[in-house]
Chains A and B, each alone.
Chain A
Amino acid sequence: MGVITLAMLGSLAVLAVAGAVVWGQQADRPDPSAVLRGPTAGHPLGTDRLGRDLLARLLAATWPSLLPAVAATLLGAAAGITLGALTAVVGGRAARLLGALINLLLAFPALLVAMFFAALFGAGAGGAVFALAVACAPGFARITQTLAAQVAGTDFMAAARVLGLRRHRLLLRHVLPHIAEPLMLNTAVAAGSALVALSGLSFLGLGVQPPSYDWGLMLSQGLDRIYTEPLPAVAPGIAIVYATVAFQLLGEMLAGAAVRQARPRPEEEPVAHAARADRPASTDHVLEVEDLRVVLPTADGVVRPVRGVTLTLRRGELVGLVGESGSGKSLAALAVADLLPDDARVTWTTHRFLGADAESLTREQRRRQLATGMALIFQNPASAFNPSLRLGRQMTEAVRAHRGTPRAEAVEQALAQLQRVGLPAGRRLLRSRPFQLSGGQRQRVAIAAASMMRPDLIIADEPTTALDVTVQRQIMDLLRRVRREDATAILFISHDIALVADACDRVLVMYGGTIVENLPARELAAGARHPYTRMLVASVPDLAADRDPPPLTIEGGPPDPCGTAPGCPFHDRCPHRLDRCAVDSPVLSPLRPEHEVACWRPLPAAPLGGARETEEVEK
């Protein structure tokens, strides 16, 4: 594709430059003895009224045909882009005026405008170029306006405006670089259309005037005798199409390059074959996952966000999965729910949901099992709902599809669920659409919808992060109620360690793609043994404690998600590291019942800070 495009563009360029030099003389040499000939060996395309060789004329016309098209496009693009980009940097009223102007200009068909101005400027190549530039400018203005509006809405533009930067600087520095790619692409495509339009003008007698000539004029002259001699008309037509296609392909190529830049590289990784561990299935366990790993191809190389996660959820348990950004907590959960994109590679040694091994089920069975047994609640409840469908339909869809529940009964169930989440105006709510609710209401509806199927497991991924604290508390109380009444296990993913400590039974602390500690929630504040957990706890400010000393900061950054180095993921930030920490990866192993740590040197039970609490504990 790229090769063809480049070959086509190259041939056009060569012809444009060399055409007039090589064939120019021949093209202008009249031969009264051979006027209006058909194709012969000497004149492969025939001759025109003055007996000039048509092939030579066609080739020599490359430059005069392409140059005006490119010039008109560039002129129009420059004018349109300036106009459109200005809307992003001028004040509100001026922007509205400019917008209205662009709309007005767009209301006229481009070709009509071009013809009007071509007539106005007077027939001739120069007039046609200007006319065409005027005609294509509004299109560019509109595209630029749309693209620039996206940039104008960003925080960095607001920041630049607050800095009081001058308009031309905003335009050149912040707006144009961000929209350059699509505009280039558009310009390439527009050049193709401009060529066609220019040929059209010439054809109508509004463009190039004899004795100058371009493909359009040749086409129109050839058309006079198309019934006797088709080739003199078809050949310039082919030339126009050829050049147009070349420009289109250039556009495609630019677009392709832009997309490729953004798209991750596919990975070359051998599949780690799962060695099946033969642990007996426990009926009490809703979910058992062992050595879960995720490998994802991204633009910056292959990342390994999840590197051996082992977790077990019992029926009715509310387990918090905490970690900072980049710890892999959300991806681990999505992998459990089989929701990762296709290019992600997920492996495990055990993945058992409701006692059934993932390998022992067919794809269809597994999908069904997940659909009926597992529900997800996301940070942004808007994403869980289809914005255009009524909530009632969306809430009842699953039970009706999977359980065959009749409609009326499903609606009754939905009403009961809504009642439970504290939304008593159920019937009205079922008729409304997602955007009519507040964030807190939507999240409550999401919980109600998730519990419609009475799932055995709910995975809640940061369900309260976008909400206010007072609403957050309502949501947490709701989740606790759901798990108590339905005995649903809940995996609650959060970055908020205080919230998790406050609301969950058990906490899994994730760091660098692994679970570093698994402990009862009530021990988190004072009884953590992994150095990372301890430091994380110490970094949480406490409203009730004294203002000094300020909370701790963990120096350094999280481990490189692409790295493959062995050793403890925390070793470069850990104040307690041993020599072996850099080479051997610690595994999650039990310290006491209910308490597991992945560390070669777990801290002693007495914490660094918060000595007061420990004393109380130990008394």
Chain B
Amino acid sequence: MSGGGGLTLYEVTVRHQGPFGPITAVDGVSLEVPRGTTVGLVGESGSGKSTLARAIVGLDPPCSGRIAVGGREYGGRREADRRRLGQQVQLVFQDPDTALDPRMTVRQSIAEAAGAFVRLDRRGREQRVGELLELVGLDAGCAGRLPRQLSGGQRQRVAVARAVAVGPAVLIADEVTSALDVSVRAALLAMLRDLQRRMGFAMLFISHDLAAVRQVADAVAVMYLGRIVEAASTESLLRGPRHPYTRTLLSAVPSLHAGRRPAEEPLLAGEVPDPASPPTGCRFHPRCPVGPARHAGRDVCAVRDPQRDAAGKPHRAACHFPYRADDRPPQARRVPPDDDGDRTPRTPGDLPS
């Protein structure tokens, strides 16, 4: 296994103890995040993406499979094991309001992280805090403030500074922009990319926000019900999604620019199935818009799991009947969104000038 310094997941499975028996939240996920690159992990709630993140940082240890950083595994539950892992992998949480200790100043928070593995004297610590603040684009004046005296964006930068303070090889960003206002998201994402260029860590960027993923990720993996259903380079996946689930997901993203939303992309039927007893075969089959429920003769979907056939391809789509790569993605077409019949078509042509 060659991670090249990056993160490698091989057949990782995580089970939770649910109220009615074990729930497999992450089921045999294999993924590689090479050094210096970013992989976006996309999925809706219940897809297992956050559980996977917690598994990688050791908060929710996997029950089988391998997680390796730079080719080495960091298992074990003792304090020493945890510390070895912590030096390699760090996590930035979704909500900056709760991820920082409300009683510690920015300086204390960052200094604590910076001194977690190396002894620093007073001067060294002050200097390191200054460096880190600069790295995440905060001015030194913030150091004396408490988290509640900062804006959401600033708080998230402090959280990032804390995470990179140990110089990790892998950074996991779990929904880091979803609690932020849209006007500061872009800057945070740009900062993360810049940081990655300077420090060279591998980044797993978990988000349900496809636009954010697109801005930072080199490659994207889409999760549904504990499995990766599609993975490819960012452009390839967003421009030419091949898995039906990815297409539905993309078409549901609202667009500011009127008239981009297609009418004929069907809504997802039903609810996300209970992860305690997932559907057989392809896990998407009960809801799939092109699956056995809508197309006769596609019964194979309910029987055979498409996961295996997809493994190893550059654009892997775990589907027996994937869309062709040259099939245009849903949001690039301009279709009047007259799905309800209650609205005049909003093609740009009929704007009053």
Contact = CB atoms under 8 A, between A and B. Distances in A.
Interface of A: 91, 154-156, 158-167, 169, 173-174, 177-178, 324-325, 438-441, 468-474, 476-477, 480-481, 483-484, 495-499, 501-503, 505, 521-527, 535-537, 539-544, 547, 550-554, 557-558, 610, 613, 616-618
B268 interface: yes
Given A468-B45, A527-B351, A501 B254 contact: yes
Contact of A498 (B82, B163, B255): B255
A445 B303 CA distance: 34
A439 B45 contact: yes
7 contacts: A162-B57, A470-B249, A474-B267, A483-B342, A496-B254, A543-B255, A550-B189
Contacts of B337: 502
B98 A155 contact: yes
Contacts of B267: 470, 473-474, 477
A593 B232 CA distance: 48
Interface stretch (B1-9, B21-29, B88-96, B319-327): B88-96
A472 B251 CA distance: 12
Interface residues of B, number: 80
Nearest to B61: A92
A419 to B, nearest CB: 16
B121 interface: no
Given A473-B252, A502-B256, A155 B99 contact: yes
A557 B271 CA distance: 40
B255 A161 contact: no
Contact of B351 (A165, A552, A617): A617
A167 B215 CA distance: 38
Given A162-B59, A503-B254, A539-B183, A544 B45 contact: no
Nearest to B210: A543
Contact of A163 (B45, B90, B215): B90
Contacts of B93: 155, 158-159
B44 A498 contact: no
Interface string B67-85: 0000000000101001111
Interface string B311-353: 0000000000000000000011000010110110010110101
Interface in B159-193: 159, 162-163, 166, 181-187, 189-190
B343 to A, nearest CB: 8
Interface string B242-258: 00000011101111111
Contacts of B83: 164, 166
Contacts of B183: 324, 535-536, 539, 552-554
Contact of A544 (B181, B257, B353): B257
Given A162-B91, A484-B340, A552-B186, A470 B44 contact: yes
Interface of A is mostly: helix
Contact of B181 (A165, A471, A495, A498): A495
B212 A553 contact: no
B261 interface: yes
Interface of B: 44-45, 57-59, 77, 79, 82-87, 89-91, 93-95, 98-104, 112-113, 116-117, 151-152, 159, 162-163, 166, 181-187, 189-190, 208, 210-212, 214-215, 238, 248-250, 252-258, 260-261, 267-268, 271-272, 331-332, 337, 339-340, 342-343, 346, 348-349, 351, 353
B248 A470 contact: yes
A469 B44 contact: yes
- The residue among A162, A497, A523, A541 with the most chain B CB atoms within 10 A of its own CB is A162
A525 B45 contact: no
Contact of A550 (B58, B186, B348, B349): B186
B182 A91 contact: no
Given A163-B86, A535-B183, A554-B184, A477 B211 contact: no
A543 B331 contact: yes
A501 B215 CA distance: 22
Contacts of B189: 550
Contacts of B87: 164
Contacts of A521: 258
B215 A470 contact: no
A553 B252 CA distance: 25
Given A162-B59, A324-B183, A156 B99 contact: yes
- The residue among B267, B337, B339 with the most chain A CB atoms within 10 A of its own CB is B267
